Amino acid sequence: MMKNLMKLMIGMLMISLFVVSSCKKDDDPVSEPPKDKSFETLKTYMIAQDMDLPKILDSWITTADNVHTIMTDADPSNDFYIIDIRSAADFATGHIEKSHSAALKDVLDTAANSGTMPIIVVCYTGQTASHAVVALRLSGYPNAKVMKWGMSGWNVNNDKWTPNVASIGVGNANWEAGPGNIATNINYGDPSLGEGDADGATILKKQVKKMLDAGFQGIASSTVLGAPGDYFINNFWDEADVTHYGHIKGAFRIKPLSLKDKQYQYYNTKTTVVTYCWTGQTSSMVTAFMNVIGYKAKSLKFGTNSMIHSELNSHKWDATTQAKNFPLVQ
């Protein structure tokens, strides 16, 4: 009987030790990885440096007429430093006199030679140039501008717009006629950059380079209209224009998309964001900016000119009125 009592006491002791040990493990605090504060650091820096999106979109575009007037007047001191980011082969075929050829990813290196001259960036249509101008405006060139319509607007022989305008949205089930039913904005919180404890200037420089290295981020209107539910879509229009023309099914309207006012939080952090405007030039600016601050964003190519061209009363490509016949040099 003594042996049985000893066995019982040993068994109870072991159970007690197991329970105590288990409780101790459960009560120990679980160490969590430190919260990534790099987005907040970047946002604070960009706001302090007056680099919020509304500022980046302030006076960011000019016309071929203005560029031609400035470059041909009698005063060379007011000339633009023109960066042409089309292919080297197309640049060699014909370009604006005194312009400089560069790839999109190298635009900051080329801009370093501009001195105090105001910078104009040109491409085929004005869309890729908008990515470049965002990079420039976030990198010490706050007055850099896009030439509207790109080289298509400079010389009619370079017209890349006409083959890309379309009205595939007219009568399409995924285009809601005005006033439509624009989606209610949802707060998705902040994106994550994963840059650790780097300072704001360092993070911004790295993010701008990443954006440029990735190249122009565009998506065809046929792709988005074919499956709008696959994307988070932002119609970057004024409310009156959405009411008049309508919008892609399921689209949101988030504008002006400010960092300071936290409107960026209405962009979905978990999926591909597609922004569209009239011509794809403003939406390219927005897309480049949003990619810099940590979103997966794309610009709808050629904007609503590629979806409801026949319905547009303004912001409409028409080669007979928009394309000039300004000279090209080789």
Please answer whether residues 131 and 302 qualify as being in contact, where contact means their C-beta atoms are separated by less than 8 angstroms: no
Instruction: Split the chain (330 residues) into runs of 10 and give each run's mean pLDDT.
Output: 46 44 46 74 98 98 98 96 98 98 98 98 98 99 98 98 98 97 97 91 98 98 98 98 98 98 98 98 98 98 98 97 97
Distance CA 257, CA 265 (A): 9
Is the same domain home to 296 and 186?
Answer: yes
Q: Is residue 152 part of a domain?
A: yes
Q: Is residue 316 part of a domain?
A: no
Q: Is residue 132 part of a domain?
A: yes
- Determine the pLDDT at residue 165: 98
Q: Is residue 243 part of a domain?
A: yes
- Determine the pLDDT at residue 322: 97
- Is the peptide bond prior to 256 cis by the omega test (within 30 degrees of 0)? yes
Structure tokens given for 138: 């976030």
Last residue of a domain, one of 115, 145, 164: 164
- Determine the pLDDT at residue 197: 85
The answer for residues whose C-beta is within 8 angstroms of residue 257's C-beta and 6 or more apart is 53, 54, 236, 263, 264, 267, 286, 290
- Determine the pLDDT at residue 34: 56
Distance CA 20, CA 42 (A): 47
- Cβ burial of 17 (10 Å; 0-12, 13-18, 19+) is exposed
Is the same domain home to 203 and 105?
Answer: no
Kindly report the CATH number assigned to the domain that includes residue 248.
3.40.250.10
Residues 312, 283, 57: CA angle, nearest 5 degrees: 110
Is the same domain home to 159 and 245?
Answer: no
Please answer whether residues 115 and 142 qualify as being in contact, where contact means their C-beta atoms are separated by less than 8 angstroms: no
Q: What is the DSSP letter of 113?
A: T
CA 193 to mean position of chain CA atoms = 16
- Determine the pLDDT at residue 15: 44
Q: Is residue 329 part of a domain?
A: no
- Cβ burial of 229 (10 Å; 0-12, 13-18, 19+) is exposed
Tally of structural domains, the chain: 2
Q: Is residue 4 part of a domain?
A: no
Is the same domain home to 114 and 154?
Answer: yes
Is the same domain home to 184 and 282?
Answer: yes
Is the same domain home to 215 and 137?
Answer: no
Domain that holds residue 134: 38-164
Angle, helices 281-292/127-137, rounded to nearest 10 degrees: 40
- Cβ burial of 72 (10 Å; 0-12, 13-18, 19+) is exposed
Distance CA 278, CA 290 (A): 18
According to DSSP H, which parts of 1-73 are helical?
Answer: 2-27, 38-48, 53-56, 64-72
- Determine the pLDDT at residue 25: 45
Last residue of a domain, one of 116, 131, 164: 164
Distance CA 125, CA 152 (A): 6
